[in-house]
Structures are given as C-alpha cells and as structure tokens.
Structure 1
Amino acid sequence: MASPTTPAPVTAGPSKKGIFAASFIGTSIEWYDYYIFGTAAALVFGSVFYPEFDPTAGTIAAFATFAVGFIARPLGAAVIGHFGDRIGRKSMLVLTLLLTGGSTFLIGVLPTYAAIGVGAPLLLVALRLIQGFGVGGEWGGAVLIATEHASPRRRAVYGSFAQFGVPVGVLTSNLAFLAVSGLSDEDFLAWGWRIPFLISIALVVVGFFVRSKLQDAPEFQEVKEKKQVVKVPVAELVKRQPRTLVLGSLASIAPPAVGYTVIVYMLTYGTTVVGFDRTTLLWLILASTAVWIGTIVVAALLSDRFGSKRVFAIGALTAVLWPLPMFALVNTGSAGAALFAFVVAAVVQGIMAGAQGGLFTEIFEVKTRYSGISIAYQLGGMIGGAVTPIVATALYGSYESSTPIAIYVAALSLVSLLAVLGIRPLPKAQQADADRLGTAAATAG
C-alpha cells in the first residue's frame, strides 16, 4: 500500500477499445431497455394496461407510468453513486446492467389488464421503478469509467463514449418496434409489443461479459489508497459543492426536454394530431439518430479544444431557439419537413451530449464525483424528461395548439443555458492532480 504522501502506482489499465466497449455497449443496452418503454407507452400501454380510460386519459396514464422511472432515477443515482464513490465504479456498472435488463425482460412477460385487472398496471409501475433505479446510477458510472482513464486533452471525447448509448438506444429500440410494426393491430397489441422487451435479455449477457473485465481508474484508486473515501458521499457533496450540484442539475434539463419531446411525445402527437403513419414516424426519428451520433463526436472534439462549458452553452442556446420551428415543420404533415425538424433536434441534443461528460467530470471532486454527476444528470432528466410528455399532452388537450408546448420546452432550455453559464470549474490544484493521473492512466492503458 502506498504511504499517505505517495501517489498510488499506476498499473496497466484497460485499452481504449476496452473502455469504449464497456462504456458504450453497456450504456446502449440500458438505454435500449429504457427507450422501448417510452415507445411502448406512446403506442400500446394505454390500450393494454389502461383500457378503462378514454384515449387521452389512457395516454396520460401511460406517460405517467413512463415518468415513474424518472422519479426512481435520482434515488438510484444517490444510492448507486454512494457505493460507486465508496467501493468502485466497476461493480456498480455491473449492478445497474442487471437491474435494468432484468426488469425490462419481466415487463415483456407481464399479464395485461384484461388478464388480472388492476394488478397489471401496478406490476408495470413496480418494474418501471426498478428499471429507473438502475438507470439512475448507469450514466455517471459509464462516464467516469471512461473520463477517469483519459488524458486531460481527451476527457470530453472519452466522456462521449457513454453518450453514444442514448441515440443508439433510441436507434435500436425503434428498430425493434419497426420489426413488429408490420403486424396487424390485433397481433401487435396481443403479443407483438412484447418481443422488443424479451430480446433484451440477450443484450444483457453481452454487456455483463464486457463490463466484468473492467477495472477502476488510478484517480479513484488513489483516493482509496490515501483513505480519502468519505462515509456519506452525498452529504459531503451537499456540504462542499451545493452550488455546483444545483447548477449541474439545472443544466441537465435541456437535453432530455428536447429529446423526449421528439422520441416519446411526437409518437403520439404525430400520429393522432398531424396524421402521420406510425411506421413512417418511427423511420423519421430513426434516421435522425445517425445525425445525433455524428454530432456527439464533433461536439466532443470541439469541447476538448475550446472547452466543454462553452460548447454545452452553445447547444443549450440552440435548444431555446428550435422548439417553435420544429413543431411548425411537423405540423405541415410533410415527411420531409418532419425529418428536417428531427435532424436539427438531433444536432441540438448532440452538441450538449458531446460536451456533458467532460464538463461534469471537471466540476465535481473525485471523492464525490459518482454521486455528483449521477444526481445532477438524473434530477435534470426527471424535470426535462419525465414531466415534458405529460405536460405536452395536457397543454395540447387544453389549447389544441403546439405553440404552448414549444414555448414550454424553450423555457426549460433557457433555464439550462443560464445554469451552465454560472458553473465554475474545480480549483486549479485539484485539476492538476486529476490531469496528472489521467495522463498516467492514458499512458498505461
């Protein structure tokens, strides 16, 4: 064991390919699990689990069940972040994968309301809570396992590995539903919707194999060697960095606010209000995800060159400006116009996603970093992601116009823009320590 004044030796770490695989593959699987629930909530859960409601109320009930997962995410972030800061990043990443994948598979075998009555939606809510709890600790761990192995000049690029999982999750979840969308409505509602949930178990096995080969980064290992692990990381976080935690949480609102407006609410709005065919709309959203992924790469490279805070702020500004034109384009009923609307929305999300991993790693202290970035990300996700489809449905029900919805999303994005402008970096001494260990880890790897 190293002495209290001697840095822990840096052993050979995982390769860049190994880090990429562990961060990207595992996160993609977990977001696939999460997004197929959102797609099913928009397309089928209202009819299958809430058939006693009228169509609008059934949709709101389904979206409320979708939102329950977001409520569990901050709790998962706090609990899993606690043990991630005390025990290590690797073990928590394996746990989140098993929680999310197992609950997703069980949703695929749930009996419907017609079979067991009110027990069906209750079980659905319970499994959604477990799924959300697991996802709550996923993003933070996936980001840290990458960024803490990176040199200071590549931190945003490494942090983007986990961010690829979000659009890839959207891509694969939509492909899964497209594969069964050709079924008749009767077959789709009877059994077709279950297939995307059931096949997730095979993906979990792959993710488990990849993540079991990981090891924690030297930056965290040194904290353990110096016995600087804190007993209650969340309490230490609130005591030492309350301002950073609040601003980080507010900054995290805009990406899911824009994202869930497109990938969840638009499935309902586009089919029931504008009149798009379900399959057409899925393909349009699917096509935009390729641009989303490409933008993450570009934004991460620019973040390492010009600063993550600056790039994220540009993305938040575009998120303020785009909702009104986006709805106007979708309202034309033209597939080409809608595709353009979704592509630009993908660029908006990609800019913020490419910068977010690097930014959050730079602003939280290493001994409470898992808790800090997880809680901030999930609180923002709860406000921007859970509430937005419900509010959007209610606003359209009240005003029969998309304008209030667009203004609402733009207002949420403005909050994020102001918050990120107020974020301050860590003191230079702490940044220097992180840079030293990051460089050593990258060299060893």
Structure 2
Amino acid sequence: IAVWVGLSTGLTSALSRAMGERQGEKIRQYLRVCWRAIAVVSPGFTVLGVAIWFVAPHMDLEASVKRAFQIYGTVLIVGSAFTTFWSIIPDSLVKAHQDTRSTMWAGIWTNVINVVLNTLFLFVFHWGIFGIAFSTVLGRIGGLVYALARARVHERARIAHERTPLSDLDRHATRTVLGLAIPSSLTFVLMALETAVVNMLLAGRQHATEAIAAYAIYYRLVLFALQPVIAGAVALLPFAAMRCGSGDTAGVRRGLHQMIAASAVYSLIVVGPIMAVIAPWVANSLAESPLTAEYARFALFTIPFACLSGSVFLLCRPVFEAMGRGRPGLVMATLRYGFLMLPLAWIGMQEAERLGYPAIDGLVIALLVASGLSSLLFYAWMRNALEASAQG
C-alpha cells in the first residue's frame, strides 16, 4: 500500500501541475516515467509473493496459521502486483482531472465485486482462504476497468479541446515523480507504525490486554471519523497542484484554509455531539470486558479533538506535495512519529498513573498533544512556503 500511495501521489501531483501549466508533453513524460516504475515494482512484488510461499512453512507459527498465511499472502501479493499497481496510472489521471467522484465509484465497484466474489468463492465453491484472497485480487479489476474508462474519456476531452497545447519538456521528469513518490511512501510507513508503538507501550502496563483492546476500538473509530478529512486531502492534492502549475498561489492558500475550516466545523459540530451521545454505547457494545469498556469510553470522548488536531497535518501534506515538495511531509512525519510520540506517550502514561488514572488515558492525551504540536508546526511551515512562493 505504501508503494502504491507513493507512486500515485507523485504522478497525480506531476500531472496536475502539468495541466495547470498547459504542458501536454510533460504529461506524456510523467506517464512514461510511471509506466517504467510500475514495470520494475510489479515484478518485484511478484517475486515477493512467490517468496512468501517458500518462506511461510519455516515461520514459527501454528501449522494451520502457516498454511493460511502461505496461501493468502502469496495469492494477494502476486495478484496485487498485476491488478493494484497498474491501476495507479488511470487513478492518477482521473484525480488529476479533479474527478474524485469517479475515484470513489472505482472504489465502490472494487468493494462490491469483492463482496460478491467472496460470497461465491466461500459459500458456493468452498475455496476457503484462497477464495478470500482471490476475490480481493479480482475485485480490484472492476475498479481498474472503471478508472481506465473514465481516464480515457478525460484524456480525449483534454486533447480534443487543446487544453494542454504547450510542449516544454521536464529535464528531470523521473526525479519529479519519484522525488514525491519515495518520501510519500516513507511517510505512510511512519504513520502505520503508530499502532505498533502504542501496543508496545501498553504491553508493559497493568491490564495490558484490556488497554490494548480499548485502544484498538479508539483507533478504528478515529480512522472512521477522519474519512471525510482524508477524502478532502485526496481532493486537495490535484486542486492545489493544478493551481501551483498555473501560478495561482492565492487559490492554493484559499483552498487550504477552506478545507481546514470545514474540517474544524466537522470535528467539533458533527463528530463532537455524535461521540458525546454514542461513546458509552459504542464502548459497551464493542468491548468484551467491563474494564475494556471503561478504558474505551474516555478515549472515545476525545475523538473530536483527534480529528481536529490531525486534520491540519493531513491537509498540509498534500499541499506541499502539490508544490512538488515531498520532503516536508516526511520531515514532519518523522518529527511526529519518530521523536514526539514515544517520549510524550511515555510521560503521559507515567503522569496518568501517578495521578491515579489508567495509563491509557495519559497515552491518548499525549498522542493528542503530539498531533497538535506537529500540526501547528506543519501549518507554520506551509504558510511560510506559500508566502515565499507568492513572492518568488
């Protein structure tokens, strides 16, 4: 997923800026770069999938788990190498044309086909774990076909209406795409490490099982609540990149501020009241023990603030990427997840226990502080970058 996200980000940003500059030849350059990158990545993941088949039997797991992992990992990785990575190009083209609705429909078609095939393979053909993995692979073909069709429509319209008549070349086209793709992939990996670090911290505390379960409930609901903000960040990348290409820095700033304001309203006016009402019920419904429910209740009440503090971070990163700058996102992710999160979480847990509260309460508050600090610093950096771009 990290590789897919990185390549998609790099290509979407480059294509959108080229469209803003009305540079048709650059669009063709960036597409060729991505074709070559996929031609390397896809066989690489195919080899990785095959390797799983031979490595899995030697892993220190129960026999049934090893067999399931061997089948599922091999089928999913090998299949995804052909269906997932080749969807990067049509998906990026559709987003570069700012048709995020079609991106949504591609995802819907993927999920619908996946559910239908999953049901068929499991309950009719009785293919077990192989059927689950195979349906996931085949489901992505539906989204790929839909994205290809929409990308073809948009590209024909662009060429027919001569929206990109200029033919300047990017002398560093590969660097333009991969210079965003690599930092974006690494940023995604750093973000994914948060749960592992939290579980490690909680594992050494009293009632670790209940605390880890409560955090899992909290984390999943935070991700669910952040979906509109994440969707806004996805749409903000091509929006800002096209305006960067046309030199409309004021439009970029205006779009960013509107998205931040909308996210704040959503977090406090929508998520806040909903969580205030349903948090106890959700905690009791999802928890398997009273102690887990007790831990989860407090965490769930903080979800609006998690959305608010996290939204600025999520929205600033695509604007930097729209400017062709992938390093700021990686630097801020390293600061947040590599330097702030661990010490603040440890201090928060220590202080919570010293005051007689569960360690997970201090952990959740510490994560909010880390998120808020990194978001404020990221926004200040973004503001200075936009001002420098407007003056330069």
**Structure richer in helix, relative to its length:** 2
Asked whether the two chains share a fold, i.e. TM above 0.5, the reply is no
Greater RCO structure (CA 8 Å; 6+ sep): 1
Q: How high is the TM-score relative to the length of structure 1?
A: 0.41
